[in-house]
């Protein structure tokens, strides 16, 4: 079963997502970029409050959008976020000359890091294999851009399946995100990643607007129900006005 990761920006959104069925609560600030980060005090306060009611529900948080070559800044933010009381620290890694070195540095840090490989510019098998070999708790595949394209516009499903397999073979959690919407539900279900992450499709009107618990519940249901019911799930979402231009950004 694919777990639903809901990206939230506040205490209220965190509780709404948890109550609506999201398995993982991901703390981020969409106004600050693709992987924009909340302040450490905000992360700590939300995590403490959420844990009082959902003690075993996993919580992740991003460190913010930091270039892969700024290793000292990345390391400092990873430790600060990890110490704020969350389970996983998400770090975006764009392909390029610094990507491999950044992954090597992340693997040495005393934190449960989940590198998020940003696929907009293309990611090759060697970088994915290297990330999978470093012992991370998980690896996610995402996009940084907000141009309306999805992860599947940058990486074909066959390649994604191979990358997810590489990740799982090393015992790590596998995940996808990146402007995914109802049109990609069947592909998500076929790939069956451990985690699928969402923001925009869970919101009232775009990724910067308020999270809608009903949408969270509908996505959780669509990811978890038997494969033969996908069409009915998509139809229900369409009837509720959640298809078409709706997309997901984590």
Q: Which of 180, 197, 183, 196 is nearest to 244 (CA)?
A: 183
What is the distance in angstroms between the CA of the first residue and the CA of the last residue of the chain? 20
Cα torsion 1, 138, 65, 124: sign: negative
What single DSSP character describes residue 243?
S
State the catalytic residues. Answer: 28, 90
Cα–Cα distance measured from residue 217 to residue 18, given in angstroms and rounded to the nearest whole number: 10
Count of CB atoms situated within 10 Å of the CB of 194: 20
């Amino acid at each position: 079963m694919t777990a639903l990761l809901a990206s939230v920006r506040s205490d209220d959104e965190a509780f709404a997502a948890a109550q609506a069925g999201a398995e993982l609560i991901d703390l981020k600030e969409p106004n600050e970029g693709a992987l924009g980060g909340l302040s450490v005090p905000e992360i700590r306060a939300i995590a403490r409050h959420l844990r009082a009611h959902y003690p075993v529900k996993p919580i992740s948080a991003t460190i913010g959008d930091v270039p892969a070559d700024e290793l000292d800044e990345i390391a400092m933010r990873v430790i600060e976020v990890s110490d704020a009381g969350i389970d996983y620290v998400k770090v975006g890694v764009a392909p390029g000359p610094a990507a491999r070195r950044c992954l090597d540095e992340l693997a040495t840090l005393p934190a449960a890091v989940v590198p998020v490989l940003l696929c907009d510019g293309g990611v090759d098998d060697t970088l994915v294999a290297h990330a999978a070999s470093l012992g991370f708790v998980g690896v996610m595949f995402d996009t940084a851009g907000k141009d309306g394209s999805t992860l599947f516009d940058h990486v074909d499903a066959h390649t994604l399946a191979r990358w997810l397999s590489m990740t799982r073979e090393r015992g790590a959690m596998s995940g996808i995100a990146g402007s995914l919407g109802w049109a990609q539900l069947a592909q998500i279900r076929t790939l069956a990643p451990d985690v699928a992450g969402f923001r925009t499709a869970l919101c009232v009107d775009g990724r910067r607007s308020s999270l809608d618990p009903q949408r969270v519940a509908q996505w959780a249901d669509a990811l978890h129900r038997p494969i033969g019911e996908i069409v009915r799930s998509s139809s229900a979402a369409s009837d509720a006005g959640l298809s078409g231009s709706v997309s997901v950004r984590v």
